Amino acid sequence: MRYALGPPRVAPKEGKGWLFAAGELAMPAQDLAEWDISIINQTVLKPASYREMETEVVLKNGLGTRYGLGVSVRQESGRRAIEHGGEVSGFTADNMVFPDEGVAVVVLTNQDSVDASAAVARKIAPLLFKYDDASKEEQQSRAVFEGLQQGKINRSLLTDNASSYFTGQALQDFASSLGPLGAPQEYSQTMRQERGGMTFRLFEAHFPQKTLEIWERIMPDGKIEQYQVAAKD
């Protein structure tokens, strides 16, 4: 553990009353992975119980909570994901299950008060599906990015709204600010989710001295409604 920004210290043993809920549940990564297999294969509970556990709870006002029964229900890499994290003195955990694909990611880290486990899980997940639609999406997004580095845009990919955004001045600014960076060392999709009738895609472009975030909103017909670039904090 760390106190503020101090050096790593051995985490103290938990005192009486420190933990609550499932705080006494502990296991190695392999055991948790085996539990995930039981979720994927539905071997412990009845199928109806799994459906209920993995269904998002909707409030009386119609607002979705993105939470089922004890698990987060979300989209990751464009797929249905069942996820939960954990933290106690000296470690954090992230458990992400893709029940429809028969895949799970388990990450344990031995330091608390950091988001490393979730960050690692979100880096691993896209790699599991790298040779499907995500790869095509990355290729198109990167092609648009590289065009903008040269002050060019393929307007056939854009909606009328997006096309109007890329004025002559905008293209000049994209080229003058992005062109000097050269080719990205890595260009990868880090998030994909459905929202507002559109598909939201988030990408990262890595350069020696800078990392950029590129986000897109895609209409149902595949046209790009929004394409923006900003430095990652």
79-110 tens-digit pLDDT: 899 999 988 888 889 999 999 999 999 999 99
Per the listing, tokens 């080229």 go with 175
> What per-residue confidence (pLDDT) applies to 224?
97
Q: Which residues fall within 8 angstroms of residue 226, CB to CB, at 6 or more apart?
A: 161, 162, 165, 215, 216, 217
> What per-residue confidence (pLDDT) applies to 158?
98
Q: What are the residue ranges spanned by the domains of the chain? A: 29-125, 133-231
> What per-residue confidence (pLDDT) applies to 162?
97
Packed helices 168-178 and 133-149: angle between N→C axes, nearest 10 degrees: 100
Q: Which residues of the chain have pLDDT under 50?
A: none
- The CATH architecture to which 133-231 belongs is Roll (3.10)
Residue 206: which of 224, 227, 190, 192 has the closest Cα?
A: 190
> What per-residue confidence (pLDDT) applies to 176?
97
Residues, the chain: 233
> What per-residue confidence (pLDDT) applies to 202?
92
> What per-residue confidence (pLDDT) applies to 24?
61
